């Protein structure tokens, strides 16, 4: 049963990052209270790439030690550019510099896309196997992540699900390689059905450049090939829009279904 999206509007970019940090800490704490040792299932989160979440990741890295028990959190990536981890475009590198270098997290809890920068199909296959092997309930059709963070491009892409690309059609895999002609590049991305299996899916949007894309998702015709972020409809999880006022503009709020 799909739930109505929850929308939180922050006044500024910084207050949005602070809210998102506290929101995520709360999710993790709620999970910890439900999954106490010895049967402590880790909290699983797919991180967004791009620039918007950087400040959130920095704020998470600045939390007092012990606020989050990172030994009970598994980090995966919602998508990755097909470049080596040291490349300036790498989403792994962005997360490493803004978060991983500041926290104590077991190396095995950081589940990045392996061998990005070589064969994108091989990287996607390897990531699929890795996730199937490491995620709780990894062998079910679409394992439920506890949280997915997503951005949204001006062209209404999300993760690396870009308009009119093959990945939009995949209904069986967790991860695919996706050729993006608009960028003349390959990406590795989680698929829409895998993202939609998550318990919490949050779009984190900041800045006036997001207004048009957000309006299309909230009020535009349902044309997911053109507007892939419209594919994000958690099957039973909660969809969140964590946005700032600049991203909202004067767009009427999305009405409950």
Residues that bind ligand 6PG (CB under 6 A): 48-52, 78-79, 91, 151-153, 157-160
**Residue nearest ligand 6PG, CB atom distance:** 151
State the minimum distance, in angstroms, from the CB of residue 174 to ligand 6PG.
16
Give 251-254 contacts, CB < 8 A, sequence gap 24+: 251/211, 251/214, 251/215, 251/218, 251/219, 252/218, 252/219, 253/7, 253/218, 254/5, 254/7, 254/218, 254/219
**Smaller CB distance to ligand 6PG: residue 72 or 95?**
95
State the minimum distance, in angstroms, from the CB of residue 244 to ligand 6PG.
12
Q: State the Cα–Cα distance between residues 5 and 192, nearest whole angstrom.
A: 17
Strand pairing of 200-205 and 110-111? unpaired
Q: Tell me, what DSSP letter sits at residue 234?
A: -
**Smaller CB distance to ligand 6PG: residue 151 or 163?**
151
Strand (E) or helix (H) holding 98: helix 91-98
Q: State the Cα–Cα distance between residues 224 and 8, nearest whole angstrom.
A: 24
**Smaller CB distance to ligand 6PG: residue 52 or 196?**
52
State the minimum distance, in angstroms, from the CB of residue 189 to ligand 6PG.
8
**Smaller CB distance to ligand 6PG: residue 48 or 98?**
48
Q: Give phi and psi for 105, each to the nearest 5.
A: -130, 130
Q: Which two tokens stand for residue 240?
A: 């969140």
**Smaller CB distance to ligand 6PG: residue 160 or 211?**
160
State the minimum distance, in angstroms, from the CB of residue 41 to ligand 6PG.
26
State the minimum distance, in angstroms, from the CB of residue 33 to ligand 6PG.
30
Q: State the Cα–Cα distance between residues 2 and 108, nearest whole angstrom.
A: 33
Strand (E) or helix (H) holding 58: helix 54-61
8 Å CB contact between 25 and 59? no
**Smaller CB distance to ligand 6PG: residue 130 or 202?**
202
State the minimum distance, in angstroms, from the CB of residue 91 to ligand 6PG.
5
State the minimum distance, in angstroms, from the CB of residue 144 to ligand 6PG.
20
**Smaller CB distance to ligand 6PG: residue 52 or 98?**
52
């Amino acid at each position: 049963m799909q739930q109505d999206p929850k929308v939180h509007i922050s006044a500024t970019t910084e207050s949005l990052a602070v809210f998102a940090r506290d929101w995520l800490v709360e999710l993790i704490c709620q999970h910890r209270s439900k999954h106490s040792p010895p049967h402590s299932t880790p909290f699983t989160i797919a991180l967004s790439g791009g620039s918007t979440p950087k400040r959130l990741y920095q704020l998470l890295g600045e939390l007092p030690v012990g606020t989050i028990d990172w030994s009970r959190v598994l980090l995966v990536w919602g998508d990755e550019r097909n470049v080596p981890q040291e490349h300036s475009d790498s989403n792994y590198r962005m997360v490493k510099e803004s978060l991983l270098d500041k926290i104590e997290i077991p190396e095995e809890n950081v589940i990045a896309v392996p061998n990005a920068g070589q064969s994108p199909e091989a990287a996607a296959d390897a990531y699929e196997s890795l996730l199937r092997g490491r995620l709780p309930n990894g062998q079910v059709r679409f394992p439920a992540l506890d949280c997915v963070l997503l951005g949204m491009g001006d062209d209404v892409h999300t993760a690396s699900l870009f308009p009119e690309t093959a990945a939009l059609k995949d209904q069986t895999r967790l991860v695919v390689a996706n050729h993006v002609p608009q960028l003349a590049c390959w990406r590795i991305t989680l698929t829409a059905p895998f993202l939609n299996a998550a318990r919490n899916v949050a779009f984190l949007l900041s800045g006036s450049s997001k207004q048009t894309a957000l309006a299309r998702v909230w009020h535009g015709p349902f044309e997911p090939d053109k507007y892939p972020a419209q594919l994000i409809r958690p099957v039973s999880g909660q969809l969140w829009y964590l946005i700032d006022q600049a991203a909202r503009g004067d767009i009427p709020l999305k009405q409950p279904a």
